[in-house]
Structure 1
Amino acid sequence: MGNWWGADSITIGIPALVLLGLIMACWTAAAVWTLMAARHRQGSSRRDRMQMLRMGRMMEEAPALPLVVRADGKLEAGARLAGWFGLEEIPRTLDGLAREGARGICPTELEKLKENVQRTMSSASPFKMMLHPIGEGHALSVSGHLADPQVARGGAVVLWVIDASDSAAEITRLTDASEKAMADFSALVGLIEAAPIPMWFRGADARLRLVNSAYVSAVGGESAEDVVGNNVELVEPVEGLSASEVAIQARESGRAIQRNVMVTIEGERRAYKVSDLPVGSEGIAGYAIDVEDLEQLNREYRAFRAAQRALLDQMSSGVAQFDSSRNLIFVNLPMQRTFRLPATIGQEATPLNEVFEIMRDGGRLPEVRDFPAWRKEKEAWFLASEVKDEEWVLPDGTHLRIVAQPMPDGGLMMIVEDRTEQLQLASARDTLLRVRTATQDSLFEGLVVLAPDGRLQLWNRRFAAEWGLSEEFLGTHPHIDALLEALKPQLATEGDARRIGMVIEAATLRREQSGGRVSLADGRTLALMGVPLPDGNGMLTSLDITDSQKAEAALMERNQALVEADAVKTRFLANMSYEFRTPLTSITGFAEMLRDGVAGELSETGAEYVAAIIDSTARLSDQIESVLDLTQSEAGLLPLTREVVELMPLVTRLVHDRAALIEGAGITLNLRGDRSSGTVHGDARRLARAIGNVLDNAIASSGRGGRVNVDLKRRRDGAQVIIHHVPCEEGPEAEMARQNAGLGLPLARELIEAHDGTLEFVQHARSGVTATIRLP
């Protein structure tokens, strides 16, 4: 039976049956001998006859009856034996012992009996067997042997039949009880052996006598016999007490001893619950249950509980926990702050009534007329079958929401939420909503807000008035389809309803801003604008632009007239410029001929007059060219030649051309830069004209003794020409500078912009004016 050790085998024999058979045989032999002697002396005397009668009576009373089977198969027996077989009389042959119905013996036993009788007749070997007559409840023990020739000649067989019903029933009962006991014992041994936990039994001396396989595996033994023989203990000594000493204590006290100890199994320390149970005076039984998982769960539960309480301390809501005895066992920090509870509360169990008293003393409970009744009402929370939700208003105006959650163990979880700020925000929100409604109703634009599902959410009175819609209709929050159907009668063309739907779809679904205009049947024009809102809704505004559209049309007509007048002016100036240049060229040519003496020698005064004429015509020619370039530039007709122009030589030449003017004005000009300034693509003549005009303005604006700085720089986006000067603020020089500016600066700006550049002027408070020319 596996490794379960020490169980002696139990064998149940049947010696009583053998003994009974011997007694019956001796009794029968004596009876036969007496019967034969009586027959032998039958005729001798009456006394012998009486003795024979007594012997016959004894045979009738005997527990064993003979049955003679002669060689020819005939049967000889008394009538009493027929009753044992359940028959009325003994049949003539053995085959008659089996009758149809509920009589005689069964055919199987009859065949076996005939085989045994036949074997005894042929070999003289005795036999024994049991017969069970049908329906009689008897058990007949049959012993057969070859008959003595004096009893029956010719090889007859004598069968001694013994009614062993009572003995057989007792033997059967004892056998069944023994087999049941053996089966129960085997099942118990198998159960103990198959148990996954170590189990053992100690004798009265506390030494191991029995161990199961789990015990052997736990201590690393080779077999149960080895473990028991070496008395290998599973549990190490704890606090100076060995496992056997603890077992002796359990036996002496007559009570089981349970303890949790650490056991090393397969190199791993695990927690086990060890029990020692006294078993009468026989010894002490024991078993060990692995509770490491349970201990781990307990450790995890304690860690989870600590983490949960730490988390509850971080919450904004107050939490208090009461046990089934209505004692406070935990309170988090927000709960302490809300009700001004002492820091030590919750470290020891505090009754609910005492907690309420502390809250009341701190003014942190609602003011009630009957405080004891109110407190008793709150104690009913523990008996409630559902969550209780209440609102408490404290004397200082604090508004609390109290949630009482009954726990399955009979305790209570109390959750407190401070809703004061929430209510204030709700009040502020209501105020903002009213302000928003009033603001929307005061707008000039009609306004509606639609949800992504197409339902109307908000509107103002202007929208209802512009489109002739009733408040009752808008109050049903219609879908966009129904809204467009209501707008169609107001539109000049029904196709505009689709345009309005597209504007709304762009704002709500595509999250795009779009607009448009629609004309109404009464002649008004509305400007539409769809705007996506941050909350996922879309807003549609409509503005009556009938008057502004009329004004816009008038302004467009006037602007067109001005554009045409400006074009006429530009063409006139261009034509006049060309017309002026022809006579001016003639005047300049005749004056130069006079200066060169073609018409004879001129006097000194005449030479001065001719020089003045040439100088005036040069300035006039320059002004005419400026006017021509300016008008062509404004008209977009200025012809430009594209070539590579080096800036440093160009600016240097411009400065040299104005050297006499600079010296005459007493101005210091500083030119900084080199060929690293690079080149630009453009018209060299017009670039020189533009830069020269800015330089001339700086020279003319600077007072005597002033300073003009010209810097050439190269940047990543192009070249820069920076001209800085300090202009005169007062006096005739400043007035002359303003008069001489003329068309120079506007022309310079037009020429620079024609080259895709920019010209910027920056006025500094004390350091003068900086003109920056940027060329790509």
Structure 2
Amino acid sequence: MPIGWIDLLRAEAVALLACAGGFVVLDTLRRRAAATPADGGSVFLFDGDRLIDCSPSARLLLAALDAEPPEARRRLQEHLAHHLPDLTDRLTQLDREGRVQMTSPSGLTVEASLHGGITRIALDSDAPGQDALTQAAQSAEIARLRRIVQHAQTPLWEEGTAGEVTWANPAYVRAAGASAPQWPLPHLFPQDGPVNLASGWMHAMRQAQVGTAWPLDRAVLAEAQLREFRQTLARTFADLPIGLAIFDRQRLLQIFNPALMDLTGLPPDMLSSRPSLFSVLDALRERALIPEPKDYRHWRKQMIDLEEAATHGRFEETWNLPGGQTWRVVGRPHPDGAMALLFEDISGEMTRTRRYRADLELGQSVIDAMTEGVAVFSPSGTLVISNAAYARMWDDDPGTIVAEVGIGTLCARWRAATAPSPLWAEVEHFAVTLGPRTGGQGTLHLLDGRRMECRFTALPGGATLVGFQMHEAAQKVARYG
């Protein structure tokens, strides 16, 4: 057999012996833990911070400390530190000393030892009878709970099988209006839920015949303030000429104003029943108050798009209704997922806009019928309007130019098409002069030999009119030549 195999077998044998030795040590420690004397001592075995075994009395102590196995060592050392303040520091020396023993003034003895990585902590007390340390821990826990219950600002009580109050803490007594317990105590909370007491609103809840109550004053006050705020909003919205409908995150109607009823004709009882958004839109569709698409499916998709766009604050449309009305509909998002729709009748505004556009078109038609070329400038010297005769004379139609054209630019064009004349400087200065002005006129000679009469005059509001008229002889030559 090669030497390497012999060495490998020897290493495995050593490892098995070490494991066996560890099991022997652990088993010895377990037997030592089980061999706890009958005088109430407690023994704990820890592998690092992990509890691996303990005696029955030790289990009672851990239960009294409410210590789960993962935190058993920490809770035990915290509890023992009340009796032996130096215990934690001494336990850190176990790796060097191997064994530590301490006794408190009350007669508690703690012995800790370390063997094969296993820590053994044994507790013993000089007090006679049952484990005094466990009793002390239980008494401390009871005292702690009693202090918490006595100083709790939340009413706590216990009920008997017949529903009578059998125990209550001071907060319950104060809520009952008594300075000292008077038995039987009054039954303040006949059922779960909010209760209006003389001291304020409270909410009660029971579980296993134990009752708990907590104050609702802030919640009731907040609800009252919210109700008052809604009433204020309702009074404010009542004076708005725009129809308003506010839907919550479930898209149920929560707030509406009288203008919505006047505008849509929807009955108050229908709106007060908190209908859904689509129910309101369906009702508007039945009254022909929504632009009618080709098919209902397309309309539903359009309304879904409306909801999504309004949620993101992007919805604003003009609805031309079958009855001749025109509405502006705006959707706006609100906090907490709510949404508001605003309906405004802009029929009059649209009528005025159409009339204004018609007047502009009529005015343009009138000046286009004139033989005189006309160009009108704003007080800042920007071209506002010109007619067809102007376009023919100068072979230039400013209406085809998107950008604004100023008096300086046009004067440069006119100057380049005529013989030198001081009249253009006068026209340019006149058009940008503010205040009272006196117009003028003059004769110009085009480069092709024709003569042109030019006049400039002030218009209301600071505007300027510049007119061009071909000389009569030139007109006759152009007409009969």
- TM bucket normalised to smaller: 0.5 to 0.7
1:538 is aligned to 463
2:223 is aligned to 295
Q: What is the Cα deviation at residue 303 of structure 1?
A: 1.4
Q: What is the Cα deviation at residue 140 of structure 1?
A: 3.4
Aligned partners of 1:340 and 1:364 also within 8 Å: no
Matches of 1:162 and 1:407, distance apart in 2: 67
Matches of 2:438 and 2:397, distance apart in 1: 27
TM-score normalised over the length of structure 1: 0.36
Specify whether residues 244 and 524 from structure 1 end up closer, same or farther in structure 2 by C-alpha distance, changes over 3 A only: same
Output one character per residue of 1:600-650: Cα deviation in whole Å (capped at 9) or x when no partner: xxxxxxxxxxxxxxxxxxxxxxxxxxxxxxxxxxxxxxxxxxxxxxxxxxx
1:135 is aligned to 96
2:180 is the alignment partner of 1:230: yes
TM-score normalised over the length of structure 2: 0.54
May I ask how many residue pairs the two structures share in their alignment? Answer: 358
Q: What is the Cα deviation at residue 294 of structure 1?
A: 0.8
Matches of 1:489 and 1:416, distance apart in 2: 56
1:456 is aligned to 383
**Residue from 454, 464, 471 that aligns with 2:397:** 471
**Residue from 409, 413, 430 that aligns with 2:357:** 430
Specify whether residues 176 and 511 from structure 1 end up closer, same or farther in structure 2 by C-alpha distance, changes over 3 A only: farther
Supply the AA of the counterpart residue of 2:304. A
Q: What is the Cα deviation at residue 505 of structure 1?
A: 1.5
Q: What is the Cα deviation at residue 334 of structure 1?
A: 4.7
Q: What is the Cα deviation at residue 529 of structure 1?
A: 1.7
Q: What is the Cα deviation at residue 491 of structure 1?
A: 6.3
Identity %, equivalent residues: 17
Q: What is the Cα deviation at residue 434 of structure 1?
A: 1.9
2:187 is aligned to 245
Specify whether residues 332 and 131 from structure 1 end up closer, same or farther in structure 2 by C-alpha distance, changes over 3 A only: closer
**Residue from 271, 277, 286 that aligns with 1:346:** 271
How do residues 208-357 of structure 1 correspond to structure 2 at under 5 angstroms? 209-211=169-171, 230=180, 244-247=186-189, 249=190, 256-261=192-197, 263=199, 272-276=200-204, 284-291=211-218, 293-311=221-239, 314-315=240-241, 317-320=242-245, 332-342=257-267, 344-350=269-275
Matches of 1:310 and 1:544, distance apart in 2: 61
Matches of 1:20 and 1:362, distance apart in 2: 90
**Residue from 527, 539, 561 that aligns with 2:455:** 527
Matches of 2:329 and 2:91, distance apart in 1: 89
Q: Secondary structure at the match of 1:430?
A: helix
Matches of 2:356 and 2:121, distance apart in 1: 102
1:199 is aligned to 154
How do residues 664-679 of structure 1 correspond to structure 2 at under 5 angstroms? none
Q: Secondary structure at the match of 2:273?
A: coil
Supply the AA of the counterpart residue of 1:441. D
Q: What is the Cα deviation at residue 486 of structure 1?
A: 2.0
How do residues 647-658 of structure 1 correspond to structure 2 at under 5 angstroms? none
Output one character per residue of 1:736-769: Cα deviation in whole Å (capped at 9) or x when no partner: xxxxxxxxxxxxxxxxxxxxxxxxxxxxxxxxxx
Q: What is the Cα deviation at residue 287 of structure 1?
A: 3.5
2:407 is the alignment partner of 1:480: yes
Q: What is the Cα deviation at residue 341 of structure 1?
A: 3.7
Matches of 1:339 and 1:162, distance apart in 2: 87
Specify whether residues 381 and 409 from structure 1 end up closer, same or farther in structure 2 by C-alpha distance, changes over 3 A only: farther
Aligned partners of 2:155 and 2:214 also within 8 Å: yes
Aligned partners of 2:203 and 2:213 also within 8 Å: yes
Output one character per residue of 1:178-203: Cα deviation in whole Å (capped at 9) or x when no partner: 8999799879968996x9xx434457
Q: Structure 2: which 5+ runs fail to align?
A: 1-35, 42-89, 104-108, 114-118, 126-131, 160-164, 473-481
Supply the AA of the counterpart residue of 2:203. S
Q: What is the Cα deviation at residue 245 of structure 1?
A: 1.1
Q: What is the Cα deviation at residue 477 of structure 1?
A: 3.4
Specify whether residues 442 and 334 from structure 1 end up closer, same or farther in structure 2 by C-alpha distance, changes over 3 A only: same
Supply the AA of the counterpart residue of 1:531. L
1:384 is aligned to 308
Q: Secondary structure at the match of 1:230?
A: coil
Q: What is the Cα deviation at residue 208 of structure 1?
A: 5.7
Aligned partners of 1:512 and 1:532 also within 8 Å: no
Aligned partners of 2:247 and 2:339 also within 8 Å: yes
Aligned partners of 1:130 and 1:141 also within 8 Å: no
Q: Secondary structure at the match of 2:202?
A: strand
Aligned partners of 1:382 and 1:410 also within 8 Å: no
Supply the AA of the counterpart residue of 1:485. A
Output one character per residue of 1:133-162: Cα deviation in whole Å (capped at 9) or x when no partner: 6524421359xxxxxxxxxxxxxxxxxx99
Aligned partners of 1:319 and 1:414 also within 8 Å: yes
Q: What is the Cα deviation at residue 424 of structure 1?
A: 3.8
Q: Structure 1: which 5+ runs fail to align?
A: 1-15, 22-128, 143-160, 220-226, 233-241, 251-255, 264-271, 548-776
Alignment RMSD (CA, Å): 5.5
Specify whether residues 401 and 324 from structure 1 end up closer, same or farther in structure 2 by C-alpha distance, changes over 3 A only: same
Supply the AA of the counterpart residue of 2:426. R
Aligned partners of 1:448 and 1:460 also within 8 Å: yes
Aligned partners of 2:244 and 2:260 also within 8 Å: yes
How do residues 23-102 of structure 1 correspond to structure 2 at under 5 angstroms? none
Aligned partners of 2:150 and 2:169 also within 8 Å: no
Matches of 2:360 and 2:139, distance apart in 1: 90
Aligned partners of 1:530 and 1:541 also within 8 Å: no
